């Protein structure tokens, strides 16, 4: 049974490869696609030649890009830490606000339930 699955898988992969080749060939019937493929291929070949003939320059570009990526990631980490700290502060506000409301209420209401503000307005 294992040999059958391998053979079937192999045929399936072959059929996919042939289908991809046929699809690529059919897409090249379109003039714009054909020109685009040719221009991109030329550009990539030129880039590859440049990289092969100037490996130090290529390595410097890779190092620079890596450095920029590292700096960006560090900035993102700092921003996330800052936002997280602000979120923690925001989470602490409701209990503090509730305590302030209680203190304010206690300041205006006496033990017998009378409002001190109302008493001063009645006199």
Note the pLDDT tens digit of each residue in 27-85.
989 999 999 999 999 999 999 999 899 989 989 999 999 999 999 999 999 999 999 99
Q: Does 43 fall in a domain?
A: yes
The answer on 69 and 43 residing in a single domain is: no
The answer on 18 and 70 residing in a single domain is: no
The answer on 29 and 75 residing in a single domain is: no
Query: By C-alpha distance, which of 112, 108, 111 is closest to 121?
Result: 108
Mean pLDDT along residues 96-120:
68
Per the structure, the complete domain to which residue 3 belongs is given by 1-53
Total of domains in the chain = 2
3-state secondary structure of 116: helix
Longest dimension (CA), the chain: 103
Question: pTM higher than 0.95 for the full model?
Answer: no
Find the angle CA(12)-CA(17)-CA(25) to the nearest 5 degrees: 145
The answer on 38 and 10 residing in a single domain is: yes
- pLDDT for the residue numbered 106: 78
Distances (CA, A) of 85 to 21, 69, 78, 88, 98: 54, 24, 11, 5, 21
The answer on 24 and 75 residing in a single domain is: no
Asked if the model's pLDDT at residue 4 lies above 70, the reply is no
Q: Does 44 fall in a domain?
A: yes
């Amino acid at each position: 049974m294992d040999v059958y699955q391998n053979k079937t898988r192999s045929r399936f992969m072959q059929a996919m490869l042939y289908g991809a080749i046929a699809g690529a060939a059919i897409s090249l019937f379109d003039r714009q696609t054909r020109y685009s493929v040719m221009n991109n291929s030329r550009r990539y070949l030129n880039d590859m030649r440049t990289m092969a003939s100037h490996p130090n320059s290529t390595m410097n570009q890779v190092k620079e890009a890596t450095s920029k990526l590292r700096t960006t990631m560090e900035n993102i980490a700092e921003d996330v830490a800052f936002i997280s700290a602000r979120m923690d502060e925001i989470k602490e506000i409701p209990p503090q606000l509730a305590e302030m409301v209680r203190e304010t209420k206690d300041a205006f209401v006496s033990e017998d339930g009378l409002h001190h503000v109302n008493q001063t307005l009645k006199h």
